[in-house]
Structure 1
Amino acid sequence: MAFICLDIRCLFIFLICTEFSYTFSSNTEIKVNPPRDFVIVDPGYLGYLYLQWQPPLALENFKECTIEYELQYRNINSERWKTIITKNLYYKDGFDLNQGIEAKVHTLLSRQCTNGSEAQSSWSEATYWTSEQGSLETKIQDMDCVYYNWQYLACSWKPGMGAQFDTNYTLFYWYEGLEHALQCVDYIKSNGINIGCRFPSLESADYKDFFVCVNGSSESKPIRSSYFIFQLQNIVKPLPPDYLNLTVKNIFEINLKWSTPKGPIPAICFIYEIVLTGDDTSWMV
């Protein structure tokens, strides 16, 4: 059936109805489901974890839309959340496994799919804890790692206060590029107990997170593991200059000249500190 209206009032009513219909549709709340199966996966890299999830259900209505995810995560004792916006279904990062980890992720819809308004789902949440065997007193103490002259790495520690005489410790390490975590092959020992590790040549390990775990074994009690994260270039201890030449020109002027330390460290990286005295009691830096 056809309807033709020549009355100007019909056109006016038609325009009102069209405007009402557009306003209603633009104000309609658009809902999207949260990501599914959100988990934190430990692949055995001593703190480098995978956070992964599956797409939300019922995405048929948003086939032409860009789906993004907002991920937030932190160690449980930290006050600050890290936030990542990604289109992927996973994210990887390093964590301190001495503490628990908590994370949450939700779905975001691009504005062109939501009439310019922001649409996001509720959060999906996940937590992760390592198995905490042994008391805190059995953990190693005073872990100290030095990358000598940017060439070889050595770490040392003291046995835990609550460790028994039969306790011994084992060190594992990993950085991106290794297929799996490796165990120390050259331990530093004291009275037959491992108190440190000398590492082999560490190819391609600079400027990456270096993950270390020191655990232990004892027949009398379980030993709590300790985890550490650092970057090698931040713990470099350079060699001293090969020579220092001092020339006294007069009572008011002393000239010092020294050589650049040998090794792979670029000369531009060095800053020198000079400490001198004239009477062994007062020092100038």
Structure 2
Amino acid sequence: MSIRDQLKKREQEREERKNQTQESDLPEGVSRYIQNRELKDGRTFIILDDPDDWYFYYVHEDSSFSPRETYVKKHSCLHSPRDIHANFEKYARPGKSACPSCAAGVKRKLYFIVRLFDVEYGTWRVFDTKEFHVLNLIEAYDKIEKTARKFNKNYSLIGDVVTLRKSDKTFTLESSDFEVPAEMSEKVKAMIDDRPNYTDLAYFRSVDDVVAIVEEAAEGHADKSALAAFRNQGADAKTDAPQGKDDSVKPIENDGDRLDNLPF
């Protein structure tokens, strides 16, 4: 069986396990991940976490937008934290002993998963996006709080309503006039401290799977000689991340759909 067939088979098995273990609280066809196309005209959410509680992790990706080419399939870096409040400096540099892609020198970028309550669907979703966009979101977040604190010094945006929308080539947050029903407010309060498993959301692959992805990298975009130390270590070697359990969580290789193929 070829590497392509093996990866496809493993992906199918993961999807089957997810569908068997947990039902989604989202409507059919709606992803846990907020997609860019949903934000064109703005979408209403309730803030669940302060930016200091946003989960960060790293992603290996190498592609060009014009012409559209993928040199290395997008995947989560195994040298990433598995929960919030991790030591930022510990993961800032590539972990060449922990991640085959780091060892092979594949491009590595910082991502954040921002948890939000979708008022239309009545449950939590996540905005999974790059460092650049997060900087803009935090700037908008702080601006809203600063303005509100002129009238209420104890104001917090957590539990309040915002509009998340596209803004030029990035994203921003704006205040919203949406009136939260009492029942929804209680649901949000209960959800604020009930955080998801970010390991599932970041979708960490096994060492063997990452090795297989790097093996297929375009010439000149990965040092494949560095993979020798990682081969045949087993399906779960070097990662304490179980495979995804939420049937609305999709593998990060499908991120092109989630990000609507935008060049940013």
Whether the TM-score (by the shorter chain) exceeds 0.5 is no
Instruction: Indicate the structure (1 or 2) with the bigger Cα radius of gyration.
Output: 1
**Which is richer in strand?**
1
TM-score normalised by structure 1 residue count: 0.21
Structure scoring higher RCO (CA < 8 A, sep ≥ 6) equals 2
> Could you say which structure has the higher helix fraction?
2
TM norm structure 2: 0.22
